[in-house]
Structure 1
């Protein structure tokens, strides 16, 4: 009998790791580096942080139906991150920029990784990667 984990199991674990690394990175940037998150960063965190928790529970329980309740969180988080990325790139008109009204701004050089990749784009990438992995889990377990 073959006791090797299935691809769906590896996808489940990888999904949790992406959510965990994203969560820990956001906490590191805010708490250790001292960069206060803007309004949109807080909203994205509100969708990423629970993903790390529910994905950990799904891994422990081998719950491959996780996509049913994690995919909506991921989709909303990705939409926020996409809007935030457009805002960072300057493609959103000035009157509707929530990051510059009060509080910290996302347009500074401190909001980039290695001075090149903006943090909102990294958040978008994380949400998209999680969504892809959740869809793969769904396809591999609901044939």
Structure 2
């Protein structure tokens, strides 16, 4: 086994683990803590949940060709999460944010350390998965 193969395998397993933690975290907030997700939270879930299944299948099959598609999905998730986080934390954006349904997208169910909100957690997960998928793609392309 090549050194790059081991790095690729471990990095892809790490990306899958991050997606599982994000999935379980979102279910915890909605099903255990009873936080109703807003419309943007639903969009982020729509992008994150399939990543868990697709990356998981890719890990077990050792099929890394899918990494470019994972990069696209997680990139869209990053943009969505960044926008959601911005309308929560940037006063100008939050005052001009459009109404997004019965649950306000500017509301913060959690605010740990003054900056960690649910969209921030999703953003970090999407960033990690995006970077991992780009690296896995590049390592696979060299083989």
TM-score (norm 1): 0.87
Partner of residue 11, structure 1: 11
- Root-mean-square deviation (Å): 2.1
8 Å contact from structure 1 (residues 22, 123) kept in 2: yes
Residues 69-80 of structure 1 mapped to structure 2, 5 A cutoff: 69-80=69-80
Gaps of 5+ in 1: none
| 2:139 paired with 1:140 | yes
- Counterpart-to-counterpart distance in 2, 1:55 and 1:69: 10
Do structure 1's residue 27 and structure 2's residue 41 form an aligned pair? no
Q: What is the distance in 1 between the residues matched to 2:68 and 2:2?
A: 27
**Contact 1:82/1:124 (CA < 8 Å) preserved in 2?**
yes
**Cα deviations by residue, 1:61-99 (Å, 9 ceiling, x for unpaired):** 011112122111111111100100111113415343334
**Consecutive unaligned residues in structure 2, runs of 5 or more:** none
Deviation sequence 1:89-137 (CA, Å, 0-9, x none): 13415343334xx322344452334665111111111101110000110
Q: 1-side partners of 2:59 and 2:48: how far apart?
A: 16
What SS class does the counterpart of residue 66 from structure 2 fall into? helix
Q: Return the alpha-carbon distance in structure 1 between the equivalents of residues 16 and 107 of structure 2.
A: 30
Counting matched residue pairs gives 140
